[in-house]
Amino acid sequence: MNIYKFIAQISNRFSTIQLIVLYYFMVVIVASILLVLPIFRDPGADISFIDLIFTAVSTVSVTGLATINLGETFNVAGIILLQCLFMLGSLGVMMISTSFMLIRRKKVSLKQRQLIMTDMNQPKLSGTVRLIRTTILIILGFEFVGGVILSTYFYIFSDWPLKEVLFHGFFTSFSAVANVGVDLTGQMLIPFHNDYFVQLIIMLLIVVGGIGFPVLLEVKDFLQYRRTKKVLPFRFSLFSKITVSSFFILLFGGALCIWLLEYNQFFKGMTFTESAFYSFFYSVTTRNAGLMTTSLGNFSEGTLLLFSILMFIGASPSSVGGGIRTTTLAIVVVYLISFIRGHDQVALFRRRIGRDDVQKSIAVFILSMTLCMISILVLSVSESHELITLIVEVTSAFGTTGLSLGITPTLTVLGKLIIIILMFVGRIGMLYMVMLLVPKHKEDKNYHYPTEKIIIG
C-alpha cells in the first residue's frame, strides 16, 4: 500500500484537532530517538530515559526548562539538532511541513489546509498558505537581522573570537524570536544586565515572536497599504485589535507592578533607568521568552507571584507562546464587566464577541487554573521545595516560559512527569486538549430540556 494513501486513511479516522495532537506526540517520539543517539552527545555524557523525554518535550514545546546541562551533554551537532527542534516547535509542525511542500512546489490539499488552520488557531481556511509563507519570511527575517545586529555589537564591544560572536549573536536572536529561553552557558543574559542596547533589541525580538503571526501579517499589509495609498480605508481585524491592546496593557501594567513591588526591595539603590529596564524586561520575558538578566532569587515573593500570573497568561494566540493566551484573558475580563453592568452581550471595539468564543474562553481559563492548582498540590507532596518555588515552576511549564528558581534538575520522577504534561498541554493549548474528547461526528439532538431555576451564591 502507498504510504501516502495509508496516512490519508489514518487521517480520515481522526478529527483535525486529534491529528494535530498526534503529530506533536510523534514529533516528541522522533526527537527522543534522535537525542539518544551518541552522535549528538559528548563522549561519556549519559542521559536517563525520563530526562530524555523531558528534554524532547521541552524543545518541541519551546519551553527551555532543562533537567540536565545542555551545553555539557550535547555536542555541536546536538545543539544544532536542539535548534531545529526549537524551530519546529515555535513555528508549528504544520507550518514547517507545509513550507517544505511550497519549496517543492507541491499542492496543499484541503485536509492539510484544515490542519494548518487548526494548528495556527485560524478562524477560516482562506489565506492559510499565504499566512505560512509570509510568517516564515518575517520570523526568519527578524532572526537574521537580530543576529546580525547582536553579532556586530558583540564583535565591536567584546573580546570574543569571531566564532563565539556569531554563535552568541544568532543563537540569542533565535532564542528571543522563538521565545525559547534555553540556557547553554549557565549565565543567560546576566552578563548584559547593564547593557541596555542588547536588552532593548532582545525585548523587541521577543515581542515579534509573542504578539501573534496574524498580527504581523496585518502590520505588513498595513505598511503595503500606506505605500500604495489605496482609496479604500485599511481596517485591522477585531483579533488584532484585542491581541495588540491586551498584549501591551499586560506589558506596561506588568512593568509598573514589578517596579512598585521591588521599589524598596531589589531596586533599592538603583537608578531609575536600571530599575525601569529590569521591570520592562521581566514584564516581557515572563510572558513567554524565559530569558533572564538577573536571578529570579533576587526578587521578592510578591513579584515572583506576579511573574507566575504573567506566565500563566502567556503570549498571544497563533504565536510561539503558551499559556491561556492574551485574548482568552481579555474576553473573560470583558465578560465579567458586561455581567456586572447588566449588559446582555459581550462587545469590544464596537463588535460583539460570539457566544461560543466566550464559553471557550471561560472553559480554558477555569480548566487551566484547575490543572495548575492540581499540579502545584501534587508537587507540594512529592517535592521538598517552598510553595512559591513550585508555583513558579508549574506556571513556567504551562506558559512554556522556561523560567525557574533552579529546582528543575532536582525534581523527582513524578515531578518531572507533571512538568512534562504541563509543557505539552501549554504548547498544544488547553482548549484543544479538551476537544480531543469530542467525537469527530457529533449527534444532533432534536429536543431541549425544560429550564429550571436554581439557587446560586
Amino acid at 409: P
CB 277 within 8 A of CB 285: no
- Residue with the bigger pLDDT between 234 and 353: it is 353
pLDDT at 179: 80
Cα 103 to Cα 94, 108, 125, 175: the distances in Å are 14, 12, 21, 25
Q: For the packed helices 387-398 and 355-382, what is the interaxial angle rounded to 10 degrees? A: 140
pLDDT at 37: 87
Q: Taking residues 439-449, report their average pLDDT.
A: 68
- What residues does each domain of the chain span? 3-330+349-435
Lowest mean pLDDT among 6-20, 141-155, 277-291: 6-20
Report the Cα–Cα distance between both ends of the chain, in Å, rounded.
61
CB 60 within 8 A of CB 39: no
Cα(126)–Cα(173) distance, rounded to whole angstroms?
Answer: 32
Q: Taking residues 291-320, report their average pLDDT.
A: 91
Backbone angles phi, psi at 347, to 5 degrees: -135, 150
CB 400 within 8 A of CB 426: yes
Cα(350)–Cα(110) distance, rounded to whole angstroms?
Answer: 34
Q: Taking residues 292-303, report their average pLDDT.
A: 91
Which pTM value belongs to this model?
0.88
pLDDT at 1: 47
Lowest mean pLDDT among 250-254, 287-291, 302-306, 398-402: 287-291
Please determine, for residue 305, whether its predicted confidence score (pLDDT) is greater than 70: yes
